[in-house]
Amino acid sequence: MQPLPNGLIIVVKRDCPTCMLVEPLVRQLANGATPLTVYVQDDPAYAGGVANIIFDDTLENSYRLNTEFVPTLIRVEGGQEVERAFGWHREDWQRISGQPDLGTGLPAIRPGCGSKTLDPGIAEELAIRFGDARFSSRQVELGDGEDPMEACFDRGWTDGLPVVPPTQVRVLRMLAGTTRAPDEMLGMMPPDLAPCTVEKVAINAVMAGCKPEYMPVVLAAVEAALIDEFGMHGVLCTTMFCGPLVIVNGPVAKAVGMNSGVNALGQGNRANASIGRALQLVIRNVGGGRPGELDRAALGTPGKYSFCFAEAEDSDWAPLSVERGFAPGASTVTLFAGEGVQGIVDQKSRTPESLARSFALCLRAVDHPKLAMAGDALLVVSPEHSRVFIEAGWSKARLLEELERLLLLPGDEMIVGAGGITEGLPSSLAGTLVPKFRPGGLLIVRAGGTAGLFSAVIAGWAASGATGSTPVSKEITT
């Protein structure tokens, strides 16, 4: 676009009642001493006969003028904008134009309409064509006869389900969900240790079906997966069942519409499903973690499509984020190398002592009842079960303390050969009490529907801890 012409600039479209209202004034301004340029977004016949009417069919001029509303009146002096007005405001137009009698027969004020530059999908296209939107990722050109969805399958970009084709417009729209620069490097994504940028995450978030407002959560989840202690390479390459489970805490969960209630661990919620899926697609498409190649899971788990939910924070129990050292009200993600969901059915316990014993008995089955200090576990307590503890004055910490006591298990029952089962702990542990989980290896969250006396255990990778995977948390920023 050439430097701004001195004088007055008006941006209009015929499909705007206020633009049609001021059309006679355009002729009056054109006859004045101040040079006038008019950009028409939709009809070159607007103000027919007036000189210097420019049909802005590509919307380049409107875009470069940062036009948000029509009509827009701009005064330019020395090639620089000095003032502008939106819609029709008689006093503003009279002052900017220098014509004190302009529009005296019109209403004093009329609102304008949205500029065509802000039509759905148009803003991103204009930013790509005329703005500073630049992509570092290679653009894949499809053949005229290729179906975009099938093309994604054919190129190995999917998790087995259809993905949203990541067009430049969609990726740019996704990037608008964060203030972070597209070329910001997040780290080297395992297992291939490939560079992972904000832009790469946005591409996979598009394919996963995310909304732009999910981007801060997705970015935090990716950054958490890159923390060494989480051991993403091992989580991916193990022959066991696990995959990254994303637990979201704080105001962001409600802001983006995440589910912490009915069916929180199931399908049906776009934010839960697509945020977890986006992380998995980043691991696959950026890091190279594809099943049958570096992903060597013997059986896998449906959670490797997506495993993500929010903790319910509408009770007296402290949220997981606070327990892990973050300030109350902070928005966080916690990554846990989780397996499948093992239900706990106890519909009769009405005391915290009884229910804690039920939980402990079910937790013994993690990995194997005769194994200990191998895998971590996540205990998901439903609102109805948590009410039993809360009404008795038990905090999460109190429940955890009781579970740790109940899960000090007799080594005689767990050593190799005990019970006629070859699997088990070393014989040297006979005569001792063995903790089922390593210190810090049992996490508790509250989630689920308010009806149903059911909770759940999600086992962790059997290589939990310093030699495998440790749960990690990351604060969510914009």
Q: How confident is the model at residue 465 (pLDDT cuts 50, 70, 90)?
A: confident
Residue 111 CB neighbours (<10 A):
12
Determine how β-strand 408-410 pairs with β-strand 433-435: antiparallel
Residue with token string 């003028």: 65
| Mean pLDDT value across residues 282-302 | 92
Q: Does residue 405 have a pLDDT over 60? A: yes
Which pLDDT score, from 0 to 100, does residue 464 have? Answer: 85
d(C-alpha 208, C-alpha 161), whole Å: 10
Tell me if 339 sits within 8 A of 459, measured CB to CB: yes
Beta bridge partners of 343: 456
Closest CA to 226 of 472, 477, 451: 472
Tell me what the mean pLDDT of segment 144-155 comes to: 91
Domains delineated in the chain: 7-130 (3.40.30.10), 151-416+427-475 (no CATH)
Is beta strand 377-381 parallel, antiparallel or unpaired with respect to 454-460? Answer: antiparallel
> What's the CA gap between 342 and 159, in Å, rounded?
24
Residue 120's pLDDT band, with cuts at 50, 70 and 90, is: confident
Examine the pLDDT at 467 and tell me if it is beyond 80. Answer: no
Dihedral (C-alpha) 145, 151, 153, 155: value to the nearest 10 degrees?
Answer: 130
Strand pairing class (109-110; 88-89): antiparallel
Distance CA 458, CA 339 (A): 6
pLDDT at 1 over 70: no
**For residue range 193-250, what is the model confidence (pLDDT) as tens digits?**
999 999 999 999 999 999 999 999 999 999 999 999 999 999 999 999 999 999 999 9
User: By C-alpha distance, which of 436, 228, 254, 408 is closest to 331?
Assistant: 254
Q: How far apart are CA 184 and CA 445, in angstroms?
A: 33
pLDDT for residue 466: 74
Mean pLDDT, residues 171-178 taken together: 96
Region 269-295: mean pLDDT is 95
d(CA 182, CA 198): 5
Contacts of 473 (CB under 8 A, 6+ apart): 224, 320, 321, 324, 325, 326, 332, 333, 334, 335
Nearest Cα to Cα of residue 28 among 90, 110, 102, 138? 102
Digit-coded pLDDT (tens) for 95-109: 999 999 999 999 999
For 134-138, 267-271, 272-276, 285-289, which range has the lowest pLDDT when averaged over its residues? 134-138
CA angle 338, 343, 344 (to 5 degrees): 120
Element (H, E) at 169: helix 168-175
Reference 304, options 281, 335, 272, 270; nearest CA is 281
Type and span of the H or E element at 86: strand 80-86
10 Å Cβ neighbour count for 58?
12
Lowest mean pLDDT among 38-42, 77-81, 139-143: 139-143
* Contact of 52 with 37, CB cutoff 8 Å: yes
288: left (phi over 0), alpha (psi -120 to 50) or beta: left
Residue 250 to residue 333: CA distance in whole angstroms: 9
Strand-strand pairing, 72-77 and 80-86: antiparallel
CA distance 470 to 230: 5
Residue 460 binned pLDDT confidence (cut-offs 50, 70, 90): very high
Check pLDDT > 90 for residue 80. yes
Indicate the average pLDDT of the chain: 95
CA distance 224 to 235: 13
The H-or-E segment that residue 435 falls in is strand 433-435
Q: Is the pLDDT of residue 305 over 60?
A: yes
